[in-house]
Structures are given as structure tokens and as C-alpha cells.
Amino acid sequence: MLAGLHGCASINTDRAAMRPPSQAISRDTPSQLQMLAHKPDPATPAESSFVLLDSGLDALAARLWLAQKAEKTLDVQYYIFHGDKTGALVAQALMEAAERGVRVRILLDDIYTHRHEADIMALYSHPNIEVRLFNPFHFRGGNPLLQLGQYLRDERVNRRMHNKLFAADNQFAITGGRNVGDEYFVAHDDFSFVDLDVLASGPVVGELSRSFDAYWASEAVIPARALPGYKLARHRLPALKVALQNKKDELEQTDYGRELQSVRFEQRLLSGELPAYLATARVVADPPEKVEGNTPASQLLVGQLSGLGTDTRQEVIVVSPYFVPGKMGVGWMGYMRARGIRVRVLTNSLAASDVPVVHAGYAKYRKALLELGVELYELKPLPNASPRKTRIIGSGSSRSSLHTKSLVFDREKVFIGSFNFDPRSAWLNTELGLVIESREIAGKVAEMAERAMGPDFSHQLSLKNSGDKTAIVWRSRTDRREFVTDTEPNTSWWKRRWVDFLTLLPIESHL
């Protein structure tokens, strides 16, 4: 992997090759979190404990709680880590942990790191913090033309690390759909993602840590000290500490900050107010070598997920913000329908989607899916939702877009993770998630999805015959009255024509 960096003055290739080995600590290492973590019963040694985090406030509070409680290690792996107010709050919590002597390992995909490269290098200069970047771009600075040129010339950079993980002391870990940023934690004034994470403790955390270690040691990563300008940026650490503390102080004086402080996460967790469920689970993850483009399908996460439907008897619920089934996905759902299995899909409407080009990839499969008897639901943008108080699969804001990724099989087992039902997640990006075998958890996730599928929150699609043509009809409810239309709801003529044009482009494999 690093051989491709030679000849590029932007990255110090000698430093890029310097990746000191490190691993997750033993789960037997004493700590506060070890005392609080689930201890398997000898009769059920494989069971772990799981808490669903469907609220954006709870999801942020859980991460901050782990950072505050950690005594030994924090392992953080994300596709996106914004430098906004909640991103700064999480970074400040990681900094505080490092100041206490906690070893902090931060692994970020390199897709957006140019936005705060100097801060990343300053963080790396802390003796207890190490930052590595996955699948780096050769040319730095975020110039869109240079990045486009790299995309066109180097297929490698089109493959990104989409995993999301926050692990503390190898005792607790959070994984799911959320990155780090205001829109994921309902802190954005105008837009929020409806999302879902799970807080795990018990044996499955060891599996998640092993996945992190595999990526951390991968040849696809470089240390932040290999970036140009590191020698200068490392002197910014004192200023960065002050800036992060100031941002934390400012946030605490806002309505959002006060609401976050009122979450009482630890108290609710230990009292049972936040319900924890015991279940067996397994980690499903792509290997980091997937970015090289030659990993057998059987070793990919999509291959592991495809086998989950073989013993399904009654229903499958798919929740995916970016849903591009392709011919293989349509075939899989057709196989389910041929066996009499009910298949329901919840995805974003065009008006709610933050990536219209992906919607174009989905739109051309709608009729085929409906003809198979697949039930399609498209989430509305929910423009009138009250900030942080609307609970569907997560928390709403002034405008919400679905970001949850889950699959429920017979309400007996459920996948929760980073995987979208699209070609990019299947074949290009690396992904991570949990398959949990629990009627309670699967039932809860199914109930959340069904509520979101309701006519107040989503449009249900159906087919209408009009002469020799078949048209799609959207049905929902607005202000207690039925709403029916045969055009994409709440969209302009120009947006619909733009999506029509995008459907003609040969780009599905990259969606």
C-alpha cells in the first residue's frame, strides 16, 4: 500500500512506514469500567450486554461517559470526525483522558481530515495520543481538483473506511451508524440524522477490539506524523488544549449544553432506566485488506450478512438511508418473497436524502421491488419536528434524514452497524457491525422501524396502472389528512429532472 506513496513529496514516506505495534489491553485488566461491565454467567459465557442508543443526546453522553471513565485505553475509529461543537467536545474528552494517562488511539478515514489536519497533528504530538489515517490521499490540502484527479487515476482512494467504533478499556464499546458531529447528536440547528448505535459490554467487546487492532496495524494506515507540516503543527498542542476547553465551556452555556448535562447517563444506565439486554452476538466486519480490491466475497461483511436470511421464515425489515439494491439485492429480496417472507424497506425519500445521486441509484429499482411485493417506505424530511424530542428510530430536528442501518430477521436477530444496503458498502468501503440474537432487541428495533414507517413519518409506495403504463404512488398523512401523489413528494421539478439525469449515468457500482 505504501509503495504507491513514493515520489509524492506531500507525505513523508519514511515516517508513514513507522507504525509502532500496539494492541488492546487484556479484558482482565482491573479498572472502574471492568467493575461496571457485564460479567458472563458460567451457564451462558457467550452472552454480552447491549443498550440501544436511539437518542442523539444519549449517544453523545455515552461516548463522553466512556472517555471520562476510561483508565487504561480509548480506541476511536471513525469515517467522519467533524471539528464542530460536539466534535470538539468529544476531542476535549479524549484530551482529558490522555492527560490522566489513558492511552488514546484514534483511527480516522482520510476522506475529510484535510479540514482539520493541523489539529490532528497537534493531537498526535501528545505523548498519550496516537492518530493514524486510513487509506491516505497523496496530495494534501483538500483541493477538490486534486482530489478528483486522484479519484480518476487511483481506484484505491475510492475505497474508504466507513467503520464506527468507540471502545474504552476493552470493557465497553459503542458501534452503529453514527459518526462524530453535530448532525449525529441532534446538535445542529437545521438538520439531524435519525440514527442508531448500541453500547456493548461483555465478551463481544473483545471481538470489536480485535477488529480495531487489525485496522490499526494495517499497511493501509499512516501515522499523523507523516503528514506535511507536522514539525510545525506539533507546537500547536498547548493552543489546541485551550481552544477545546473554551469550546466546551461555551457549549455548556447553551440550551443544548444544559440539556446534555441533564441526561444523567451513568445514573440512568446503572439504575436500569436505560434498559440493558443480555444476548449472544458476533462481530461482522470487513478486513482492512478490502481496500486492495481482491478480498473474496465470503470474507466480506456483505457475504456474512447474506447468509442470515437462509433460515428466515416470516419477515425481513431493512432500514438503510442509502438503499441501492442492484440486481443482486433485487434477486435476494425476490428469493425471500418467493418463500412467502414479508419484506419491508425503510429508506429516505428524495426530499429527505442528503445524497440525491444515491437516490437516483435506488429509484430505478422501485418498480421491480414493488412488483415482487416488497413494501417500500420513504421517510419524510419532517420539517416541523421539535428538536431533540421527536423519537422515531432516533431523534428529530428541524429537518431529519434517515441514517440508521439495520436488518431485522423474524424479530429474532438483528444487524446494527455501519453497512448501507448499496454497492459502495458491499464492495468498496470497509464496514463494521454486530449481529445480535435477541428477540427483545430485534423486537425493539422492529418497533422503531414500524413507527417510522407510519403515515405521519413516511410515504408508503404502491403501483397504479394507468392505461398501458404503471406509475408509482406515494401515500402518507399530513395534518391528519391523507396525502396521495404520483410525483416525488416535496421536491422541485428541477430536482426531479436532475435525479432522472443521474439515473442514466453508469455510476451504480460507486454508489
171/163 Cα distance (integer angstroms): 19
Give the gyration radius of the chain's Cα atoms: 23
Q: Check: CB of residue 395 under 8 Å from CB of residue 192.
A: yes
Scored b (16 or more CB within 10 A) or e, 335-363 reads ebbeeebebbbbbbbbbbbbebbbbbbbb
Q: Check: CB of residue 257 under 8 Å from CB of residue 55.
A: no
* Amino acid at site 481: R
Per 3-state DSSP, the chain is made up of helix, strand and coil in percentages (nearest 5) of 40, 25, 35
Question: How far lies 456's CA from each of 381, 390, 392, 476, 478, in Å?
Answer: 11, 12, 11, 6, 7
SS3 state of residue 168: strand
21/472 Cα distance (integer angstroms): 55
How many Cα atoms within 13 Å fall on the side-chain side of residue 61?
Answer: 22
Active site residues: 162, 164, 169, 403, 405, 410
Give the alpha-carbon dihedral of 118, 106, 436, 63, to 10 degrees.
-70
Cell numbers for 412 = 429474532
456/100 Cα distance (integer angstroms): 48
466/372 Cα distance (integer angstroms): 19
- Strand-pairing partners, residue 221, are 134
- Strand-pairing partners, residue 432, are 285
Q: Check: CB of residue 438 under 8 Å from CB of residue 50.
A: yes
Give the other-Cβ count within 10 Å of 276's Cβ: 16
Question: How far lies 395's CA from each of 120, 133, 214, 255, 399, in Å?
Answer: 30, 31, 33, 16, 11
